[in-house]
Amino acid sequence: MTQQPIIRFDNVSKRYNDDTTVLSNISFEMERGKFYTLLGPSGCGKTTILRLIAGFIEPSSGEIQFNGKKINEVPPNERQVNTVFQDYALFPHLNVFENVAFGLRIKKIKQAEVKRRVEEALRFVNLQGYENREISEMSGGQRQRVAIARAIVNDPEIILLDEPLSALDLKLRTEMQYELRELQQRLGKTFIFVTHDQEEALAMSDEIFVMNAGEIVQSGTPIDIYDEPINRFVADFIGESNIVDGVMIRDHLVRFAGKEFECVDAGLDTNEKIEVVIRPEDLEITSPERGKLIVTVDTQLFRGVHYELSTYDRDGNEWLVHSTRKAQVGDEIGLDFDPEAIHVMRLNESEEDFDRRLESYEVPDHAE
């Protein structure tokens, strides 16, 4: 299925004032009809990528393609892309109907059709009956939906959403996550969503681009990224994790925390220095005799679904454990885990090499 990508970045860089590089040599492709998320810490360049796609700024070098055609210099009003802004950017001098109708009015579409399409868009976001409200009379969640309606009513190929949920409270936010995801599936449009909340990214996306300091560090499905983080940054950013230094003894055998463990990773150099990630929920509490690691419980917090234990092994490494079982602070306990729970990360590995390596030992697994 080699479909034409809808968006393609080819070695795109963005510099301001010729010295501050905000994006450096970014390349990626996005397929039609998928839900993409750009995830990364504040200032890493997420908004910059959206603004490049929307056309508010031009790349300093490289090429941006839309459906295979270069669009570097196409102005925003001639692109089939619409944005839902972080602060919604609703026009305060227009009511809900006229805000949604703005794009159609620009295109000089007939009143009857404007009315039909605006009402349809408002129905889509569950705001029928709010046509004559002023923007100041709408709640935060409602404003956000007006902003979405204003974007989808123009029937764009791509909808860009810049942290649209960040201003909402937790409950409304979770609700809107469901609604957005469902909306995207109903419309079948390409959504590019920006957030710095990893849970939101994991819950909503078909594919996540993890960014750091103007570069895309790793891209893949939520499960790939969660299970096989490429490096310490991604592992740390996506969920909580235990990261320790280690050495690869040979294929399928790794040494860390003073012991050797069986693992699934292969294809690395012998005695190569590596880092090991184990997710807190992959660690299971057992008796000290049966545990692969022996640790002492330092603190314990009740987190609702599980207990979060902070424990230390004899070398002083901290091990976070998420467990439904309770332990006693000060007790010595054993930690057990499967070979699959160990994720080995090479230092400074590029994304291509990483993918190739994973494929080399994961393909047999998947070929059921």
Ligand X SMILES: Nc1ncnc2c1ncn2[C@@H]1O[C@H](COP(=O)(O)OP(=O)(O)OP(=O)(O)O)[C@@H](O)[C@H]1O
- Which CB atom, from 197 or from 313, has the smaller least distance to ligand X? 197
Write down the least CB distance from residue 287 to other proteins, Å.
59
178 binds, among other proteins, ligand X, Mg ion, none (CB under 5 to 8 A by kind): none
Q: At what angle do helices 140-152 and 170-187 cross, to 10 degrees?
A: 20
**Cα distance between residue 72 and residue 86, in whole Å:** 23
d(CA 46, CA 160): 11
Identify whether the C-beta of residue 192 lies closer than 8 Å to the C-beta of residue 161.
yes
Place of tokens 């925390």: 257
The contact set with Mg ion (CB under 5 A) reads 47
What ranges make up the beta strands (E) of 221-292? 242-250, 253-256, 259-262, 272-278, 284-286
Q: Which is nearer to ligand X, 163 or 282 (CB)?
A: 163
Residue 78 CB, shortest distance to other proteins, in Å, is: 8
Look at residue 106 and give the partner it binds from ligand X, other proteins, Mg ion, none, a contact being a CB closer than 5 to 8 Å depending on partner kind.
other proteins
User: 146 in helix, strand or coil?
Assistant: helix
CA 51 to CA 63: how far, in whole Å?
14
Q: Which does 42 bind (CB under 5 to 8 A by kind): Mg ion, other proteins, ligand X, none?
A: ligand X
**Interacting residue with ligand X among 7, 26, 37, 48 (CB under 6 A):** 48
Among 6, 35, 37, 47, binds ligand X (CB under 6 A): 47
CB of 10 to other proteins, least distance (A): 23
**Contact indicator for 57, 43 with CB cutoff of 8 Å:** no
- Listed in sequence order, the residues at least 6 apart from 60 whose beta carbon sits closer than 8 Å to its beta carbon are 13, 14, 15
Considering the complex, what minimum distance in angstroms separates the CB of residue 178 from other proteins?
A: 25
Provide the residue type at 216 as one letter.
I
44 binds ligand X (CB under 6 A): yes
Residue 103 site contact among other proteins, ligand X, Mg ion, none (CB < 5 to 8 Å, cut-off depends on kind): other proteins
- Least Å from the CB of residue 84 to ligand X: 14
